[in-house]
Amino acid sequence: MAIDHDPTLPAAPATSADPSATPTRSMTMIEAIRDALAVMMARDERVVSFGEDAGFFGGVFRCTEGLQQEFGKHRSFDTPISESGIVGAAVGMAAYGLRPVAEIQFADYMYPGYDQIVSEAARLRSRSAGELTAPLVIRMPVGGGIRGGQTHSQSPEALFTHVAGLKTVIPSNPIDAKGLLIAAVEDPDPVIFLEPKRLYNGPFDGHHDRPIQPWSRHELGSVPEGHYTIPLGTADVVRTGAEVTVLAYGTLRFIAEAAAEETGIDAEIIDLRTLLPLDVDAITTSVTKTGRCVIIHEATRTSGFGAELSAQVQERCFDYLEAPVTRVTGYDTPYPVGLEWVYFPGPDRVGDALKKVVHY
């Protein structure tokens, strides 16, 4: 039996037009995420934000700082330390008609809530024949690069992309983070929103041995004020080239750029932005042009999302390939505390792969 939605709640607002027509200001990724949530909470009273320390304290990374003070404890609140409870509550809220945005403090902590994500959130639409939906967002910091050790550095994106009914998003910069998060909140189905913690506060030029500086206001660009969206399922060609296509996402986008610059290889770099739905047209167009493809991610290699990307490229671009599709990834080991930057794919490893593929 369907749950009647509260008729006093407003309908979801339509998405905005081109963000280039709006005023802009510089933001870090943390600021952009906070701004996206504030925009949606002001625009739609159904949007609520919650998680462990995500209310009064504003989250361990301060992504939700100030929301409780602005919108009240009923819209931005703290939860018990129970990931299963957080996700389960979000599913119930979404089925009732709210637009919950739940924060899991680290992606490493999401495993107790994984059953609720897979068995409830992802399947609610199909198991109810469309009578119920779960328009919710689950935010979680992912990845390494901040010396977080084994329990604060995992990249479990493949565990979500394998699940039918979920959408999986991972931005690499503040402009994308805000536009994609607003699109995720407005989406009619559950969205996993992964936030590379290495990019929260500063730029990343691909080198672990260089200090983290505040976001360069030039490199950062200007984030549009107010409401705008970047459609889910659209990749971004961040560097055009003719010799090889590099597929990357999150932090590894910057590793790819550093490797291309250091090797001098004319690489076309695609920032996927959304893993599901995947922009297969952008991938196919690029690989059929270059004839070569290198895929990089920091998650473990075996059964990582790079394997799916490799299969997609092989199936769609086989007649155009002039070298084997190559993956550069994290190793098949638990995340090493003292050898983080050996485990993490860096410009040297990616550069070696680019040279090998181009000169195959």
Q: What is the pLDDT of residues 28-45, one digit of tens each?
A: 999 999 999 999 999 999
- Lookup result for tokens 């004319």: 266
Which ranges in the chain are annotated with CATH 3.40.50.970?
20-224
The rounded distance, in Å, linking the Cα atoms of 63 and 221 is 19
Contact 284, 235 (CB under 8 A): no
Dihedral pair phi/psi, residue 101, rounded to 5°: -120, 105
pLDDT per residue over 329-360, tens digit each? 999 988 777 788 788 899 999 999 999 999 99
The predicted structure's pLDDT at residue 73: 97
Catalytic residue set: 152
pLDDT of residue 312 exceeding 60, the answer is yes
> Each residue of 152-161: b (16+ CB within 10 Å) or e?
bbbbbbbbbb
pTM across the whole model: 0.90
Q: Tell me the H-state helices in the chain.
A: 29-43, 67-71, 83-96, 114-115, 124-127, 157-161, 174-186, 217-220, 252-263, 280-290, 305-317, 340-343, 347-358
Which ranges in the chain are annotated with CATH 3.40.50.920?
236-358
The predicted structure's pLDDT at residue 6: 37
Q: Which of 271, 140, 145 is nearest to 204 (CA)?
A: 145
pLDDT of residue 212 exceeding 60, the answer is no
Name the 3-class secondary structure at 348: helix
The rounded distance, in Å, linking the Cα atoms of 165 and 181 is 18
Question: What CATH number labels 20-224?
Answer: 3.40.50.970
The predicted structure's pLDDT at residue 19: 54
Q: Which CATH architecture best describes the domain 236-358?
A: 3-Layer(aba) Sandwich (3.40)
The predicted structure's pLDDT at residue 220: 56
Intra-chain end-to-end CA distance of the chain, in Å: 60
Sign, Cα dihedral of 144, 297, 253, 184? negative
For 259, residues 6+ apart whose C-beta sits below 8 A from its C-beta are: 206, 246, 265, 267, 347, 348, 350, 351, 354
pLDDT per residue over 114-149, tens digit each? 999 999 999 999 999 999 999 999 999 999 877 777
The rounded distance, in Å, linking the Cα atoms of 265 and 258 is 11
